[in-house]
Amino acid sequence: MTDHSLVFTGVFSAVLVLGLLTKFYLASRQIRHVARNRGAVPAAFAATISLTAHQKAADYTIAKARFGMLEMAFGAAVLLGWTLLGGIDALNQALSGSSLANWGALVPQLALLAAFGLISGVLDLPFTLCSTFRIEERFGFNKMTFKLWLTDLVKSTLVGIVIGLPIVALILWLMGSAGKLWWLWAWGVWMGFNLLVLVLYPTVIAPLFNKFKPLEDEALKARVTALMQRCGFAAKGLFVMDGSKRSAHANAYFTGFGAAKRVVFYDTLLKQLSPGEVDAVLAHELGHFKHKHIIKRIISMFAMSLAGFALLGWLSSQVWFYTGLGVRPNLTGANDALALLLFLLVVPLFSFFISPVFAQFSRKHEFEADAYAVAQTDGKDLQSALLKLYQDNASTLTPDPVFVKFYYSHPPASERLGRMIPSVESAAT
Ligand SMILES: [Zn+2]
């Protein structure tokens, strides 16, 4: 072990512990704050939200936060097992010394990533199962049978292999063959791949999991089309997705690019909202487009992955990066898969600490989209739609403010409605 390697082991361990402590602190704040406010509906919502609904939201939030703590502790232990305790090293030694190496440099590397993916997937299974069939089930959200869950698992694994394997193989090949600037090439390939998935997702991937039917309700269709024309927005179609086959949670979204954009409503959303409220929710989504939030998100994703690939390009040539994480680099074979794997494991530990910055931007965007919706439709409709959605999703009305800063991509209901009320009043007068 060199000095650099020891220092990196120390930094890695410190950041792992610090991150875990921070996450536990935030979760316990959230649990305490929600529990403290469980007894009464906040005054602003007393007329619209029942005490039963408020307490269901509190219990659901607390159950998820407790479960999250268990998951974090387990995740940290598994990460230590893979790195400093030698899991990846053992896997790599076994595979690189096996007869797979006769098939060329790529095969043992792909086998390493596949084996890692398989083992991590199996380790995560109890948690996904428990989350769906214990927590979601207990609060009446889960609509999945075990059979559907299993079919989903098989399908998504196959999709992952069909789509993921070629792109990973291509990136590993670039790492090994494209010279010093391989990371720039790999970044270009990765961006192209992301754009391709954006195009293929609505028409090829999503239909594997859900049925999409054109919206049939003529009155709603006319209303929604009028709204889109008013906002100067072209879409290829309005679709209803059978979200209810998995979960009672409701949603609406846009997918696709350019003129191929489509609007997708969950059937659960159409069941819960009045036509005016559906309009308001759609106007909110249109607001994201009008304010160019989607493009901004894609551009920042491009920029961050460029920085990520540049960093990986540098780290992959540093011996301490491997040894500091408990892995002996291969002396003869390629180390690209090892570098990629370690990088993907370690980066989230560090990026967690800047996640509040991104959450802040996201919440700002939500306010902007709300303001747009209030300007285009009846603000009262958006208010009542949001209240219904927060209630149906059992989102707590009283989250801990510090927890919100770290994790909430959408502002809590109280803040969103609080900002809307003045504009509703001024629109009315
Ligand atoms: Zn939004």
- Looking at residue 356, its pLDDT comes to 95
Higher per-residue pLDDT: 349 or 379: 349
Q: Report how far ligand 1's centroid is from the alpha carbon of 354 (Å).
A: 21
Q: Report how far ligand 1's centroid is from the alpha carbon of 364 (Å).
A: 10
Q: If you write DSSP's letter for every residue of 105-141 in order, what string do you get?
A: SHHHHHHHHHHHHHHHHHHHHHHHHHIIIIIIHHTT-
Residue 427 scores a pLDDT above 50: no
**107-121, 141-155, 253-267, 329-343: the lowest-pLDDT one:** 253-267
Q: Report how far ligand 1's centroid is from the alpha carbon of 369 (Å).
A: 6
Residue 299's SS3 state is helix
Q: Report how far ligand 1's centroid is from the alpha carbon of 372 (Å).
A: 11
Average pLDDT over residues 268-280: 91
Q: For residue 424, what pLDDT band results from cuts at 50, 70 and 90? A: very low
Residue 2 scores a pLDDT above 80: no
Q: For residue 201, what pLDDT band results from cuts at 50, 70 and 90? A: confident
Q: Which of 169, 152, 54 is nearest to 103 (CA)?
A: 169
- Looking at residue 426, its pLDDT comes to 41
Residue 429 scores a pLDDT above 90: no
- Looking at residue 423, its pLDDT comes to 46
Higher per-residue pLDDT: 100 or 10: 10
Q: If you write DSSP's letter for every residue of 157-184 in order, what string do you get?
A: HHHHHHHHHHHHHHHHHHHHHS-TTHHH
Q: Report how far ligand 1's centroid is from the alpha carbon of 374 (Å).
A: 13
Q: For residue 409, what pLDDT band results from cuts at 50, 70 and 90? A: very high
**98-102, 114-118, 205-209, 343-347: the lowest-pLDDT one:** 98-102
Output the six-digit token pair for 83: 């790195």
Q: Report how far ligand 1's centroid is from the alpha carbon of 226 (Å).
A: 21
Residue 303 scores a pLDDT above 90: yes
Q: Report how far ligand 1's centroid is from the alpha carbon of 345 (Å).
A: 30
Higher per-residue pLDDT: 101 or 113: 113
Average pLDDT over residues 233-252: 85
Mean pLDDT of the chain: 90
Output the six-digit token pair for 252: 């609406």
Residue 362 scores a pLDDT above 50: yes
- The string of pLDDT tens digits covering residues 207-219 is 999 999 999 999 8
- Looking at residue 259, its pLDDT comes to 64
Q: Report how far ligand 1's centroid is from the alpha carbon of 77 (Å).
A: 35
Q: Report how far ligand 1's centroid is from the alpha carbon of 263 (Å).
A: 14
Q: Report how far ligand 1's centroid is from the alpha carbon of 293 (Å).
A: 10
On whether the CB atoms of residues 364 and 410 are closer than 8 A, the answer is no
- The string of pLDDT tens digits covering residues 12-54 is 999 999 999 999 999 999 999 999 999 999 988 888 889 999 9
Q: Report how far ligand 1's centroid is from the alpha carbon of 211 (Å).
A: 24
Q: Report how far ligand 1's centroid is from the alpha carbon of 163 (Å).
A: 29
Q: Report how far ligand 1's centroid is from the alpha carbon of 305 (Å).
A: 24
Q: Report how far ligand 1's centroid is from the alpha carbon of 97 (Å).
A: 51
Q: For residue 144, what pLDDT band results from cuts at 50, 70 and 90? A: confident
Residue 399's SS3 state is coil
Q: Report how far ligand 1's centroid is from the alpha carbon of 83 (Å).
A: 38
d(CA 92, CA 337): 10
Average pLDDT over residues 359-383: 94
The values of phi and psi at residue 240, to 5°, are -115, 130
Q: Report strand pairing: 237-241 vs 252-255.
A: unpaired
Average pLDDT over residues 164-185: 93
CB neighbours (10 Å) of residue 347? 14
- Looking at residue 355, its pLDDT comes to 93
Residue 68 scores a pLDDT above 90: yes
pTM above 0.85, yes or no: yes
Residue 425 scores a pLDDT above 50: no
Q: Report how far ligand 1's centroid is from the alpha carbon of 165 (Å).
A: 33
